[in-house]
Amino acid sequence: MMIDVYNMHGWIQKLWKLRISSSAQREQEAMVSSSPSSTSSSSSLGLAPSKPPQPHSALSSLQRWSRKYDVFVCHSSVQSDIEEAVRLVSYLESSPRSLRCFLMQRDACPGGAISTELCQAVRDSHIRVLLITPDFLQDDWCKYMMHQVLAEAPMSNRIIPLVQNLSHSQYPQELRFYYYTDLGKDPGKCYTQVNTTVLKYLEDLIKNEKTLD
């Protein structure tokens, strides 16, 4: 039994040395490939050095940074709605989109008044997403925020209604002038549309700024 233990110990040592050796070799190869001579040789072969993907120009505009958040997400406190909101925000915040989102449970100041926190977040956001579900329609805070959003920017392109598990007849009359997207049909497509809408809105801000100049 002792022999087996020693053999195992020796095998682990060999494996560890092999791993260190392989790691060192990879580091050396990486240094060689990133050296000026390596770059010049690639150029001589007609191979252009790879470039990291460039962020969308609207994301680096001054107009974007005039507000703290790109997207405000309003949803009910029911767990399923919270999870859907988190999935949406995770998508929007991940690279290469890298949008700035507000989620009540995560971003509200502890000890702050709910109405104050929510209203301030609405004012500090470019786009307002309403995750409308049956629970949203039963939540007094959600209905309050929906009216607050409408009061802040009536008939604007800054409101995105996303519906889930909701029939057309249940869609709020207050939002009848806004097209909505059904999350139940294709969530991934809805997430992409939200991202596209944010970028378009920021682009329009830049165009309007140039027009005024």
CB within 8 A of 31, min separation 6: which ones? Answer: none
**Tens of pLDDT, residues 97-110:** 999 999 988 999 88
Is-above-0.85 flag for pTM? Answer: no
Length of the chain: 213
- Residue spans of the domains in the chain: they are 68-212
What class is the 68-212 domain? alpha beta
CA dist., res. 121 & res. 67, Å (int): 10
**Tens of pLDDT, residues 54-105:** 456 788 888 899 999 999 999 999 999 999 999 999 999 999 999 999 998 8
